[in-house]
Amino acid sequence: MRNRIIAGLSVALLAVLSWGIYGYHWTQEYRLAQENQSLRSINDLAAHLDGMETSLVKSQVASGNGQRILYLSQLAMQSTAAGTDYAQLPAEATSLSYVGQFVNQVGDISSQFAYKLAGGTNLTPEEEALLTEVHNRLLSVNQTVQSLLIRVHTEELAWLKPKMTLGQRLFGGQVALADADDGKEGNATTVRSGLEQLDASLQKLPPLSYEGEYAIHEVSEALGLRSEAVISSEQAAVKARTLLNQLGIDSANLEYAGESQGDIPCFIFRQDTVYLEMTKRGGKVRFFQDTRQRDVRTWSVSNATMKAISTLTALGWPSMAVTATTDNGSSIRVECVNESQGIRYYPDKVVVEVGLDRGQIVGLNATPYWAYHHERNVEEIKLFVAEARARLRSDFKISESRLTLIAKPGNQEALCYEFRGRYGVEEYLIYLNATDGREEMIKRVILTPRGEFLQ
């Protein structure tokens, strides 16, 4: 009898050890995949930051406006690319608001100045001084990220913390370093802590003084939340659990993890692979990400897009129109904007990510919507669509047209006719002011296997 008990316990112990080893290897594989994705993003971000700094300094050295326009335009495009790289970083990093805000502001300022120079007007001494200030900050940001990247390749600097050994994993050992230095000044022991130190250093600097699309983030409250009451963290937790349940996620282990100090003040919640930010005003979801491992792809892009729209409707956004989709392989990114009375309001944007294994929402970013959404008194339309169409080139072949509201420099907005069509072999979006027919903006449509991109 005793031998049977010993044999049974031995089998049980062997099963537990086997399961522990299997779980350890599975976790390590998942962690490695996440780490590789994070490092790819930081590599791309470093490359684009380096290009931004080079283009900016060239624009300052150039004596002719033609060359300055060229380099400032390159800077604007590189800023957009850097912003895309930044958005691919893990949720903990994307909450570092000052880094992302600065990258967006650099692109905003360079676009404005290139547009002004193209119109035949030189920059003022104040604007030249602003470019110098931007370059000084960009140089510091670039040097910090490049140093982190060098340490990644020479010291094998990890994204979050040193890897546990199998013995530590099985027998409860802990890595003391972890992320204890996150946000503190000094020699960072992880990539994440290095970015947090960079974010903190930017936060200490005075705001860049200019009028532009992203300057709105310097105001004390977002336009879409001005009428909402401030709530407590306990109230936000209730709303967070309700949201996760609506997304099909069990919220039993949801934990409060502090507050974000970004453009839109939020309460932060975490649970396993879930990261969630709920606004202090109103308890609205600002950012959600589930970094769980994706399984075999079974959903089509069209079904996933419909899932994104139906989810937004259930969450309180009933009139959203899809403007772009990006196929990321294991998931699809769906960009949606507010549409009301036949007008698309492009500043009011929500981005949803749908996992193509289960059709489950794995990401949501409503920052632009809450930052810009407000009741607007749309100007009276003084041009009929036929009159606006007549102002285009005769050889521009129109395929679609609609009314839209677009953002302009200086926190301005303009009601426009959006014309999509072909000139030669390429597609473009042309925006003509619906009041006076002025050409406000042109976007080139880039077609790729992953989706459409605007340039």
Cα-Cα-Cα-Cα dihedral sign, residues 81, 303, 355, 98: positive
- How would DSSP label each residue in 48-89? HHHHHHHHHHHHHH--SHHHHHHHHHHHHHHHHHHHHHHHTS
Bigger pLDDT: 411 vs 30: 411
Alpha helices in 119-190 (DSSP H): 125-155, 166-171
277/225 Cα distance (integer angstroms):
15
pLDDT confidence of residue 4: 64
Confidence check: pLDDT of 203 > 70: no
Reported as a single tens digit per residue, the pLDDT across 9-33 is 665 566 556 555 545 454 455 455 5
Please identify which residue in the block is written with the tokens 């250093």. Answer: 201
Q: State the CB neighbour count (10 A cutoff) for residue 305.
A: 18
Nearest to 42 by CA among 84, 77, 78, 86: 86
β-strands 343-355, 397-408 pairing? parallel
Task: State residue 217's pLDDT score.
Answer: 39
Q: Lowest-confidence range among 49-63, 77-91, 175-189, 386-400?
A: 175-189
pLDDT of residue 174: 39
pLDDT at 168 over 80: no
Q: Has residue 225 got a pLDDT over 80?
A: yes
Q: What is the mean pLDDT of residues 107-127?
A: 86
Q: Could you read off the pLDDT of 253-276 as tens digits, one per residue?
A: 999 999 886 678 899 999 988 999
In this structure, the dihedral spanned by the alpha carbons of residues 73, 444, 431 and 410, taken in order and rounded to 10 degrees, is: -30
Asked if residue 371 has pLDDT above 80, the reply is yes
The token duo for 314 is: 């259930």
pLDDT at 324 over 90: no
- What's the whole-number average pLDDT of the chain? 80
* 143: pLDDT strictly greater than 90: no
pLDDT band per the 50, 70, 90 thresholds, residue 218: very low
Q: Answer yes or no: is pLDDT of 312 > 80.
A: yes
What the block records as the tokens of 401 is 């047209």
| Other Cβ atoms within 10 Å of 433 Cβ, number | 20
Q: How confident is the model at residue 282 (pLDDT cuts 50, 70, 90)?
A: very high
Which range of 91-105, 149-163, 203-217, 325-339 scores highest in mean pLDDT? It is 325-339
The answer to whether the pTM exceeds 0.85 is no
Please tell me the distance from the alpha carbon of residue 268 to that of residue 288, in angstroms, as a whole number.
10
- Give the per-residue pLDDT at 228: 92
| The predicted structure's pLDDT at residue 181 | 43
SS (H, E, C) 116-131: HHHCCCCCCHHHHHHH
Pairing of strands 343-355, 266-271: unpaired
Give CA–CA dist 417/389, Å, rounded: 9
Share of the chain above pLDDT 90, in %: 33
- Given a cut of 60, whether residue 304 has pLDDT beyond it is yes
